Amino acid sequence: MVHSILDQIQLKYQALSKTEKKIADYVFKHNEDLLNIHISELANQINVSVAAITRFCKKIGAASFVEFKILLRGAVEQSDDTHDAINGVNQIYESVIKSTNSLTNIDKYEKACEWILNAKKIYIYGIGSSGLSAEELNLRLSRMGFFVDTHTDSHAMIIASSILTPEDIVIAISSSGQTKEIIDGIDVAKRKHAKVISITSYSETPLANNSDLMLYTSSIKPYQVKGFLNSQLSILYSLDVLSMLLLNNKDSRNIHEQTLQALNEYKKI
């Protein structure tokens, strides 16, 4: 899967220096305005050196600023600004889904499914909003008959991780990849030789460096300037892909149908 230059900036974001993050933030906010700008003009606007911009371009995979602008032009979709809330949200959703799709490696999702299907126990870790996504995944896996538990508390994560075995897996959800409670939890899990699958938006983070398998999602950072704060949209997209693949398994699908039938019967009582 070929990533756009904006996707590359997202993936590398946490590994950038403070100055490079300043450049990245400006690019996210003003990407359409940069298509015809000169490097010295951009440096003045951001108040950084030309050399810093050149280093930034190379770190995200562009040989030069000129190549960066060429790649940026291919990534940016020109569209008219709209003040209509529905159309505005629709554009953002489409952009987030498109970006997440470009970051989605189906081979890694299939491997994640294989690990889930063969796991003795599955623990899902998430804090805050990611904890809500963790609960959602718990519900889905439970309806497919998996032995699964979710922990959204740091102490509970440590306790759960301390009794894991090599037959168990942890699914860690953290958009930033730097959530201390989750990093501490998977550190204990790794010492117990359990496999760790992480759902996150960034590479080269403490979470990524300590995981066995990464499922990348789009970050909301480019959209925060517009007041869009649904950090779980791209994560839920990934959970949908994972769920659909798991339901391709005959046993998981049969159990899922049984649980749905039981719930439908319960509603009739």
Q: How far apart are the first and last CA of the chain?
A: 49
**Are residues 74 and 200 part of one domain?**
no
**Residue 51 pLDDT > 90, yes or no?**
yes
Q: How many helical (H) and strand (E) elements, i.e. helices and strands, does the chain have?
A: 13, 5
Q: Is residue 211 part of a domain?
A: yes
Confidence of residue 22 (pLDDT cuts 50, 70, 90): very high
The residue range of the domain holding 248 is: 100-268
Report whether 234 contacts 210 (CB < 8 A): no
| Last-in-domain residue among 78, 112, 131 | 78
Q: Tell me, what's the pLDDT at 58? A: 93
Total domains present in the chain: 2
Which range of 68-72, 113-117, 263-267 scores highest in mean pLDDT? It is 113-117
Q: Tell me, what's the pLDDT at 79? A: 45
CATH number where 62 lies: 1.10.10.10
Q: Is residue 89 part of a domain?
A: no
Q: Is residue 86 part of a domain?
A: no
Q: Is residue 92 part of a domain?
A: no
Joined together, the tokens standing for residue 40 give 């010295």
- Tracing tokens 């779980």 back to the chain, one arrives at 232
Joined together, the tokens standing for residue 20 give 């490079």
CB neighbour list of residue 231: distance below 8 Å, 6 or more residues apart? 129, 130, 175, 220
Q: Is residue 94 part of a domain?
A: no
Of 50 and 70, which is predicted with more confidence? 50
Determine the Cα–Cα distance for residues 141 and 83; give it in Å rounded to an integer.
40
| Last-in-domain residue among 43, 78, 113 | 78
**Residue 152 pLDDT > 70, yes or no?**
yes
Q: Tell me, what's the pLDDT at 78? A: 45
Q: Is residue 9 part of a domain?
A: yes
**Closest by CA position to 169, among listed 233, 104, 119:** 119
Q: Are strands 213-216 and 169-173 parallel, antiparallel or unpaired?
A: unpaired
Q: Is residue 83 part of a domain?
A: no
Joined together, the tokens standing for residue 58 give 């190379």
**Are residues 135 and 249 part of one domain?**
yes
Tell me the CA distances in angstroms from 172 to 131, 136, 213, one per residue in order. 10, 13, 10
**Are residues 162 and 250 part of one domain?**
yes
**Are residues 106 and 71 part of one domain?**
no
**Are residues 108 and 69 part of one domain?**
no
pTM: 0.77
**Are residues 37 and 137 part of one domain?**
no
Report whether 185 contacts 157 (CB < 8 A): yes
Q: Tell me, what's the pLDDT at 149? A: 96
Joined together, the tokens standing for residue 118 give 């063969």
**Are residues 233 and 179 part of one domain?**
yes
Confidence of residue 218 (pLDDT cuts 50, 70, 90): confident
Q: Is residue 84 part of a domain?
A: no
**Are residues 199 and 257 part of one domain?**
yes
**Are residues 129 and 73 part of one domain?**
no
Q: Tell me, what's the pLDDT at 89? A: 76
CATH number where 185 lies: 3.40.50.10490
**Are residues 239 and 119 part of one domain?**
yes
Task: Find the angle CA(96)-CA(72)-CA(232) to the nearest 5 degrees.
Answer: 15
**Are residues 161 and 30 part of one domain?**
no
